[in-house]
């Protein structure tokens, strides 16, 4: 390999995780992390953008392996290879629904792992022109100085970046699969009335929403903050809406001052 490829290991069995790590390091792969749940996998991919994810098909957690792989594939455009002790038709058929780039059964050896990794990364590289319109550019969202929240098609939170955690005043690790409307309260600053959760409309109409003025959020601790909000649907390769990408910009003092200034006659 000319460039060292980065792999995230998602495995709740420490022995298997260690074995995978050892095999990959021997073949000059970089390990971006080892986690044991689907929600941790999504956060790690958002932060580190690995070339590939090796994932136990039977993960515990709020988001199971099949759904995690589905979101990694279609939201983050990151290929996933499943690792499984099971090889029955039901397990394989469920795994196929996530669009994986491979399915490796236990026991395995170094050759099996590294050959599958190389093929998956190469195939994903070839597929990128076809998936560019499906996936969002998710790089750097964890360090973005705007709040970013990604929900599933039912409005449940899949990911929240650190800035969103600060803005809403909530522990983002405790927000996975919580309905967004339970945490995010939007109000019209002119009337003081609450604005309806935009996620439902975005999913129903598959439309982009942008609100620049006269909108504020009320944090979980009751703090009011003037913001601008943009939200857009996330679709899979069949143009089915599978989630919503929400970006919230907290307005500075100067931005709020400009908003209050009347337009010249």
pLDDT of 72 reads 95
**Cα–Cα distance for residue pair 189/19, rounded to 1 Å:** 56
Contacts made by residues 39-43, CB under 8 angstroms, sequence distance 24+: 39/63, 39/68, 39/158, 39/176, 39/177, 40/10, 41/8, 41/10, 41/68, 41/72, 42/68, 42/71, 42/72, 42/76, 42/158, 42/159, 43/142, 43/159
Question: Are 248 and 232 a contacting pair, CB within 8 Å?
Answer: no
Question: How far from the centroid of its chain's Cα atoms is residue 70's Cα?
Answer: 10
Q: What are the boundaries of each domain within the chain?
A: 6-131, 147-260
Q: Give pLDDT < 50 ranges for the chain.
A: 1, 132-136
The pTM of the full predicted model, rounded to 2 decimals, is 0.87
pLDDT of 136 reads 47
- Looking at residue 45, the DSSP 8-state letter turns out to be H
Return the CATH number of 6-131, one of 3.20.20.80, 3.40.50.11750, 3.30.70.120, 3.40.50.2300: 3.40.50.2300
Question: Are 28 and 1 a contacting pair, CB within 8 Å?
Answer: yes
Sequence-distant (≥ 6) Cβ neighbours of residue 154 within 8 angstroms: 179
Whether 6-131 shares its CATH topology with 147-260 is answered no
Question: Are 184 and 165 a contacting pair, CB within 8 Å?
Answer: no
pLDDT of 138 reads 64
Q: Which tens digits make up the pLDDT trace of 42-64? A: 999 999 999 999 999 999 889 99
DSSP letters for 49-88: --SEEEEETT--SSS-HHHHHHHHHHTS---EEEEES---
Fold classified for 147-260: Beta-Lactamase (3.30.450)
pLDDT of 197 reads 84
pLDDT of 238 reads 85
């Amino acid at each position: 390999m000319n460039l060292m490829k980065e792999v995230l290991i998602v495995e709740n069995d420490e022995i298997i995780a260690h074995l995978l790590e050892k095999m990959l390091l021997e073949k000059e792969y970089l390990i971006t992390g080892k986690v044991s749940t689907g929600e941790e996998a999504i956060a790690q991919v958002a932060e580190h953008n690995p070339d590939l994810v090796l994932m136990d098909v039977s993960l515990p957690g709020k988001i199971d392996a099949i759904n995690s792989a589905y979101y990694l594939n279609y939201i983050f455009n990151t290929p996933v290879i499943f690792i499984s002790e099971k090889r029955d038709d039901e397990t394989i058929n469920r795994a196929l629904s996530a669009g994986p780039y491979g399915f490796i059964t236990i026991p395995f050896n170094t050759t099996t792992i590294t050959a599958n990794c190389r093929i998956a990364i190469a195939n994903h590289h070839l597929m990128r022109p076809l998936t560019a319109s499906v996936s969002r550019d998710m790089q750097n969202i964890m360090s973005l100085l705007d709040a970013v929240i990604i929900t599933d098609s039912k409005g449940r939170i899949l990911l929240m970046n650190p800035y969103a955690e600060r803005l809403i005043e909530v522990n983002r690790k405790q927000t996975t699969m919580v309905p967004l409307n339970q945490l995010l309260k939007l109000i019209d600053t002119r009337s003081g009335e609450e604005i309806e959760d935009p996620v439902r409309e975005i999913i129903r109409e598959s439309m982009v929403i942008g609100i620049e003025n006269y909108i504020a959020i009320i944090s979980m601790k009751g703090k009011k903050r003037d913001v601008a909000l943009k939200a857009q649907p996330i679709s899979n390769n069949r143009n089915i809406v599978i989630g919503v990408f929400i970006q919230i910009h907290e307005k500075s003092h100067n931005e709020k001052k400009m908003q209050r200034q009347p337009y010249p006659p």
